[in-house]
Amino acid sequence: MPRLDKVAQIPKPDKIFVFKSCVASNKYPGIEACSSDSLRILGIEPVDSDEQTCCGGFVTFANVAAPTASMPAVARNLSLAEEKGLDTCVVCNGCWTFLNEFGHFMNHNAEVKASVNMMLNMMGKEYKGTGSVYHIAEMYYRLKEELAENVKRPLKGIKVATHYGCHYLGGGKYTAIDDAQMPSYLEEIIEILGGEVVPYTANRECCGTGFTQVINGKDLSLEHTKTKLDSVKEADPDILVVQCPYCHSQLDRIQQQFNYRDEGDFQTPILHIAQLVGMGLGLDVAKLGFAAHVSGRARLENVLDRIGR
């Protein structure tokens, strides 16, 4: 169940800084297009910056460098929003975790914050720690009333399963708005859009894309993914919705690998929550970015036919 005290702390601003995800930008541009357009419909103007870089998560996930090596990148990125007097909205669980956790660490360790700012000052930047970081899915939940008022293409009769992702459920001890063991806010968003929530056994299991697993043990990674996809296939939803582009990539593209190797027949469409919301709000089909998806394309076309293009 959502932690209503945390939900109440999320503002409904006129503008918000939208942090771009490396994976979404390069693999699924529809995620970012839907995020910005849906926020506009819900009354929030998205703002971004060409100065933004990667959050730094890849470096740490891959054990290439110590976590402290990512802190200047985190601080610099957060300073871009601070300069505009804005909070930050992200579409990726990894970005959400790193910006939140490292920001929290710097805010509570004055010496570390001073050292980071010494480096940032050489670039004419300063990290103050005045802004907050929210996940796009959290923003949708905060804007439930606005969302309900703007549904133009109800997902009536569409069966949707959910996948929250480890980095949100396990990494959000300070700011996550829901219970890590029994989250439900994605399910509530689906119902607001008119969809039918479909439970499945491996709902809270990892998608298998843990970055160190992929590098150091791909077989282990694929084993987790197959467990997940087998469970989803048994439940047979029309869509599996995720809130992380990396989970999206793993669950979408690995289906094709399994099918090619005759290790199953997987045809489940994977959508990011921003794409699902964009679909419900009536965004143009081209904006949804489904052309970049690998698996379940025929089933996605069927969904669009059923709800009206």
Let me know whether 96 and 159 are in one domain: no
Q: In which band, very low, low, confident or very high, does the pLDDT at 182 lie, cut at 50, 70 and 90?
A: confident
Domain co-membership, 293 together with 214: yes
In the structure, what pLDDT confidence band is assigned to residue 167 with cuts at 50, 70 and 90? confident
**87 and 27, same structural domain?**
yes
The alpha carbon torsion through 253, 136, 165, 287 (nearest 10 deg) reads -10
Whether the Cβ atoms of residue 127 and residue 75 lie closer than 8 Å to each other:
yes
Tell me: do 15 and 157 sit in the same domain.
no
Does some domain include residue 143? no
Residues 30 and 95 in one domain: yes
- Residue 142 within any structural domain of the chain: no
Is residue 253 located within the same domain as residue 188? yes
- 281 and 183 housed in the same domain: yes
| 145 lies in some domain | no
The domain total for the chain is 2
Per-residue model confidence as pLDDT tens digits over 67-103: 677 889 999 999 999 999 999 999 999 999 889 989 9
Average pLDDT rounded to a whole number, residues 41-66: 83
Q: Which residue has the higher pLDDT, 55 or 269?
A: 269
> Domain for residue 144, yes or no?
no
Q: Is residue 159, in this structure, part of any structural domain at all?
A: yes
| Domain extent for 128 | 4-136
* 184 neighbors 164 (Cβ within 8 angstroms): no
| pLDDT reported for residue 118 | 95
In the chain, what percentage of residues exceed pLDDT 90?
A: 75
| CATH code, domain carrying 64 | 1.20.1050.140
Report the CATH number at residue 211. Answer: 3.40.50.11810
* Residue 1's pLDDT band (cuts 50, 70, 90): confident
Q: Are residues 157 and 283 in the same domain?
A: yes
pLDDT above 70 (res 62): no
